[in-house]
Structure 1
Amino acid sequence: METKNRILVVDDEQDLCEILKFNLETEGYEVDTANSAEEVLEIGAEKYDLLLLDVMMGAMSGFALAKKLKDEPMTANIPIIFLTARDTENDTVTGFNLGADDYISKPFSIREVLVRVRAVLRRTSDTGYAPHNNIISYQGLELNLDKKTVAIDGEDIPFTKTEFEILHLLLDERGRVFSRQELIDRVWPKDVLVLDRTVDVNITRLRKKIGRFSKCIVTRLGFGYYFDA
Structure 2
Amino acid sequence: MENEQKILIVDDEKDLCEILQFNLESEGFSIEIANSGEDALKKPLEEFDLILLDVMMGGISGFKTANVIRKERNLEVPIIFLTAKGEENDVLTGFNVGGDDYIPKPFSIKEVVARIKAILKRGTSNQNTGNQILYDDLKIDLKKKTTSIDGVNVNLTRKEFEILSLLLKNRDQYINREEILKRIWQDDVIVTERNVDVNIARLRKKIGDYGSKIKGKSGYGYCFRS
TM-score, scaled to structure 1 = 0.61
Question: RMSD of aligned C-alpha atoms?
Answer: 4.0
Say if 1:9 and 1:53, in contact at 8 Å, map to a contact too. yes
Per-residue displacement from partner, 1:75-102 (whole Å, max 9, x unpaired)? Answer: 6122111001111121111111111111
Amino acid at match of 1:82: F
1:128 Cα deviation (Å)? Answer: 5.7
1:165 Cα deviation (Å)? Answer: 6.7
Per-residue displacement from partner, 1:42-66 (whole Å, max 9, x unpaired)? Answer: 3443332211000000011011111
Per-residue displacement from partner, 1:104-147 (whole Å, max 9, x unpaired)? Answer: 1111111110001111111223x4654643546789998x8xxx
% identical aligned pairs: 43
Aligned to 1:169: 171
2:157 equivalent among 151, 154, 159: 154
Equivalent runs, 1:118-157 vs 2, <5 Å: 118-125=117-124, 127=125, 130=128, 132-135=130-133, 153-154=156-157, 156=159
The 3 A distance-change label for structure 1 pair 153 and 166 is: closer
Amino acid at match of 1:77: E
The 3 A distance-change label for structure 1 pair 187 and 108 is: farther
The 3 A distance-change label for structure 1 pair 26 and 124 is: same
Amino acid at match of 1:11: D
Per-residue displacement from partner, 1:182-216 (whole Å, max 9, x unpaired)? Answer: xxxx779xxxxxxxxxxxxxxxxx9xx65656744
1:217 Cα deviation (Å)? Answer: 6.5
Gaps of 5+ in 2: 143-154, 161-165, 176-196, 216-223
Q: Give me the whole-angstrom Cα distance separating, in 1, the residues matched to 2:42 and 2:128.
A: 30
Q: Give me the whole-angstrom Cα distance separating, in 2, the residues matched to 1:64 and 1:216.
A: 34
Larger mean CA deviation between 17-26 and 39-48 belongs to 39-48
Partner SS for 2:42: helix
Amino acid at match of 1:55: V
The 3 A distance-change label for structure 1 pair 117 and 153 is: same
Q: Give me the whole-angstrom Cα distance separating, in 2, the residues matched to 1:167 and 1:4.
A: 22
Partner SS for 1:33: strand
TM-score, scaled to structure 2 = 0.62
* Total equivalences in the alignment: 180
Say if 2:46 and 2:130, in contact at 8 Å, map to a contact too. no
Equivalent runs, 1:53-132 vs 2, <5 Å: 53-73=53-73, 76-125=75-124, 127=125, 130=128, 132=130
1:32 Cα deviation (Å)? Answer: 1.4
Say if 1:140 and 1:153, in contact at 8 Å, map to a contact too. no
